[in-house]
Structure 1
C-alpha cells in the first residue's frame, strides 16, 4: 500500500481534478482544507507583505490523501494531477509525494 499526498494551491482546479480521478476509476481519498506555513507569517518585511498580497485571495489549499495498492495506481493518480494541474515545477501550483504504508486498519477497498 502506498500513500499519495497531493497539496493543491490552485484550488480553482480542484473540481476538475476530482472529475479526472473519477474518469480514471479513482474513487477513494480523504480531502481536507489546509494552509501553508508561509501564509501564516506576520512580519513587517516588504517581501512578506508582497507575498501576503499575492496569497490574499487564495490562502487555503486542498490536500488529498489517497491510499493506493500498487505503483501503477499511484502513477495513474499522478498522471491525473499532471493533466489537470500542469507542471508542478512551476511556482505555487502544488506538490505531491508518496510514502510507503506498512500497516493499516479499518480500510475496506471498494471494487468496481
Structure 2
C-alpha cells in the first residue's frame, strides 16, 4: 500500500481532481487547508498592526489544499497519471506537487464500495 500526498496550489482545480480520482478508483481521503512556508514567513514578518488589520478586513483563505489517501501499490501509476491530467500537468509552475510513500501498517481503513 501507498499513501499519496497532493499539495494543490491551484485550488480551483480541486473538484476536477476529486472527480478524476474517484473515476480512477480512489474511494476516499482527507483534504486539509494548508499554506506554504514562504507565504507564512512573509505574512509573519509584517508589523503586528498591519497583520491584525488584514485579519480584521479579510476573511482568512488558505493558499493551498493538502490531500492524502491510501491506495494499493498497483494503482500508483494510474493515480499519478490521473493527478497530472486533472491538474493540467504538475510540471507547470505553481500547480502543486504529488508524492507517494510506502505504508507498512494501517488500521481503521475500511473500504465500503456502497458509499461510492
Using structure 1 for the length normalisation, give the TM-score: 0.77
The alignment yields a C-alpha RMSD, in angstroms, of 1.9
After superposition, residues 23-102 of structure 1 pair within 5 angstroms as 23-42=23-42, 43=45, 60-70=63-73, 72-102=74-104
Using structure 2 for the length normalisation, give the TM-score: 0.74
For these two proteins, the number of residue pairs brought into alignment is: 98
- Following superposition, the deviation at residue 69 of structure 1 comes to 1.6
Structure 1 unaligned residues grouped into runs of 5+: 45-57
Which residue does the alignment assign to 1:5? 5
Residue pair 2:26, 2:71 contacting (<8 A) in 1 also: no
Residue pair 1:88, 1:94 contacting (<8 A) in 2 also: yes
Structure 2 unaligned residues grouped into runs of 5+: 47-60
Which residue does the alignment assign to 1:50? none
CA–CA separation in structure 1 for the residues paired with 2:95 and 2:4: 17
Which residue does the alignment assign to 2:20? 20
Who wins on radius of gyration, i.e. which is larger? 2
- Following superposition, the deviation at residue 111 of structure 1 comes to 4.1
Residue pair 1:33, 1:62 contacting (<8 A) in 2 also: yes
